Structure 1
Amino acid sequence: MTTHETFLVGDARIIKVPELALDAVDAAQLFPEDNLKGLISDASHWGKRSYDFENGLLRQSIHAWVVQTPTHTVLVDTATGNDKLRPATPLFHQLKEPFLERLQAIGVSPETVDFVLLTHLHADHVGWNTRLQDGRWVPTFPNARYVFSEREYRYNLALSRERGAVASIQRQAGIGTPRHQPLDGVFEDSVMPVVEAGLDQRIEIDNTVIEGFRFHSTPGHSIDHASISVTSRGETALFWGDVMHHPLQFRRPETNSVYCEFPTAAQQSRHKAMQLAVELDALVFTTHFGDSSVGKVSRQTHGFDWQFIQGARP
């Protein structure tokens, strides 16, 4: 049985809900543009919960965050989802993970979720937006408001149905030409059913506030990627989405993952997010770091550094 770590930020109670443990990640595949020897050296700095010393492989995670405030139950991102057809990405293809059972184990049923806040619309962040029911994709959280970027929506809609609009949306974003596009099929099975059900709230990202949660513009990994913060009693939690994929990037902040669509903007947003974490003195909640996935950012003479923070266990 999974033991869930809990983090308290003011009056907010935050819990990681795991979906996939990625314990055999090839650094050269995740960060193909960097030097493998240097990557391994930097990865090992964070110990065996971030690096498999025996096999020379990175440890990562895919999970969602539950945030329970005095008034709402909120999900930040929704991991990969079950039954999704992802033949181009075997790791995500037709999963059968007990994610909803793990939610239930911490007292959260789909009906009790009030908001689903999405940092971006990639496959491993929107998958549990929907579930397969009688051969149809239906919203998993029927009473929730799903909040995400209007630009991300329009871009993915254009890639899916209106290819002639893609170049215009890219120009409006002003972050260059992407080196690749989002994974096929994700928008159709994990985003459109939410929109068709009328549960979506599409927003302009920079500094928009929804029920106390502030969206910060950190584009690059995707066209309108957001980081999300919430402050309670003077303490701040900052959800990074995919600003970084492994703590080794603190030592190599110019290094993008293979999944970052707009490389230069991703580098710039990485620096912005580190700076923001320090300015807010935030507890940072990542999506793909191993270990607790939570930590503090500090400013050092060489740039920034990361320290994992462990939560309380029941």
Structure 2
Amino acid sequence: MTVRRIGNATIEKVEELCAAGFRPNRMFPRFDQQAFDAQKHWMVPVHVEPGSDRLVGSVHTWVVKTGRHTILIDTCLGNDKQRHNAAWNNLSLPFLDRLRACGCPPESVDFVMCTHLHVDHVGWNTRLENGRWVPTFPNARYLFAKREYAHWESERARQGEGKVNDGSFDDSVLPVVEAGKAVMIDSDHQPDPMLTIRDYPGHTPGSIAINLENGGKRACFSGDIMHHPIQVYHPDWSSQFCSDQEMSARSRRKLLEDCVESNVLLCPAHFPGENAGYIKPEGNSFRIEWDKQ
């Protein structure tokens, strides 16, 4: 596991799983094969599966330690969850052991922060105990963006129990709220002096990025504002999972511009392998320089 330093803080990726998934023409409605092929030389085999062109994606959490607090950003899929995606259904993975191996037992977590509330970002919020879903991190406060939570709460009222985000709202979000562990936050909320929050809606109505700054260095945990590094080069390629394709593209470009302006280490939720890097301008678009720590 690679430990990166941002001033006096540390960040570490803890992976739940990594595999090839969608073909790019299915993932991106605006996909262009020629533009994709122009970048394939550096994407294969880490980011694109050889032969199939399927996009390789990681599902991971970021562990941030500031000296004051231990913070988890996004909590993956979780064990024992019933999902329609066979690759995500009824998992039994040693994720908590991996957290402990990097010095992060569940009891040590002060805050859990979700960039948004899709199924693969909330799963380890809860674990199954005696037939009930209970908060996995017993001493943590779970910080949910107000606008994001309100959207999915409304969707649950409209769609019915167990229907929202493949059931994850019911088994991975509501039990946290019912346990009194949830805090609904606006973007001016600051859980730690090193952390700030910024709205980048479009993937979901309340999608946020979480910024870490200390000692003149910065990192940005961007969730699903982008899913794959090809979107650095083509920020107008929103994924099929974005609730508002145009707004998502605008937010993505704004995020990339912000990363260039402030020399931010971009830490997305699904990049595999070399999973963080610095964004540089390139013509009317951008490129990524991977952080080799």
TM-score, L = length of structure 1: 0.87
In the other structure, the counterpart of 2:100 is 104
Alignment of 1:266-277 (within 5 A): 266-277=248-259
Q: CA deviation at 1:288?
A: 0.9
Please say if 1:237 is aligned against 2:219: yes
Please say if 1:211 is aligned against 2:172: no
Q: Residue 245 of structure 2 is aligned with which of 252, 255, 263?
A: 263
Query: Structure 1 stretches of 5 or more lacking a match?
Result: 165-180
Which amino acid letter does the alignment assign opposite residue 69 of structure 1?
A: T
Taking only aligned residues, the RMSD between alpha carbons, in angstroms, comes to 1.8
Identity over aligned pairs, percent: 38
Alpha-carbon distance in structure 1 between the residues aligned to 2:135 and 2:129: 10
Alpha-carbon distance in structure 2 between the residues aligned to 1:182 and 1:40: 36
In the other structure, the counterpart of 2:154 is 158
Please say if 1:93 is aligned against 2:74: no
In the other structure, the counterpart of 2:228 is 246
Structure 1 pair 182/162, CA: closer, same or farther in 2 (3 Å)? Answer: closer
Alignment of 1:111-130 (within 5 A): 111-130=107-126
Structure 1 pair 196/24, CA: closer, same or farther in 2 (3 Å)? Answer: closer
Which amino acid letter does the alignment assign opposite residue 10 of structure 1?
A: G
Q: CA deviation at 1:163?
A: 6.2
Q: Residue 149 of structure 1 is aligned with which of 142, 145, 150?
A: 145
Alpha-carbon distance in structure 1 between the residues aligned to 2:191 and 2:76: 21
Give the length in aligned residue pairs.
290
Alignment of 1:167-206 (within 5 A): 183-205=165-187
Alpha-carbon distance in structure 1 between the residues aligned to 2:29 and 2:274: 26
Q: CA deviation at 1:226?
A: 0.1
Alpha-carbon distance in structure 1 between the residues aligned to 2:58 and 2:50: 17
Q: Residue 52 of structure 1 is aligned with which of 49, 53, 60?
A: 49
Structure 1 pair 132/308, CA: closer, same or farther in 2 (3 Å)? Answer: same
Alpha-carbon distance in structure 2 between the residues aligned to 1:269 and 1:151: 16
Q: CA deviation at 1:270?
A: 0.3
In the other structure, the counterpart of 2:279 is 297
Structure 1 pair 282/182, CA: closer, same or farther in 2 (3 Å)? Answer: farther
In the other structure, the counterpart of 1:135 is 131
Does the 8 A contact of 1:25 with 1:60 survive in 2? no
Q: SS of the counterpart of 1:57? A: coil
Alpha-carbon distance in structure 1 between the residues aligned to 2:256 and 2:189: 20
Which amino acid letter does the alignment assign opposite residue 81 of structure 2?
A: K
Alpha-carbon distance in structure 2 between the residues aligned to 1:148 and 1:280: 26
Structure 1 pair 281/304, CA: closer, same or farther in 2 (3 Å)? Answer: same
In the other structure, the counterpart of 1:226 is 208
Q: CA deviation at 1:37?
A: 4.4
Q: CA deviation at 1:253?
A: 1.2
Does the 8 A contact of 1:17 with 1:64 survive in 2? yes
Does the 8 A contact of 1:236 with 1:283 survive in 2? yes
Which amino acid letter does the alignment assign opposite residue 70 of structure 2?
A: T
Alpha-carbon distance in structure 2 between the residues aligned to 1:103 and 1:163: 35
Q: CA deviation at 1:91?
A: 2.3
Structure 1 pair 182/251, CA: closer, same or farther in 2 (3 Å)? Answer: farther
Q: CA deviation at 1:107?
A: 1.5
Which amino acid letter does the alignment assign opposite residue 26 of structure 1?
A: R
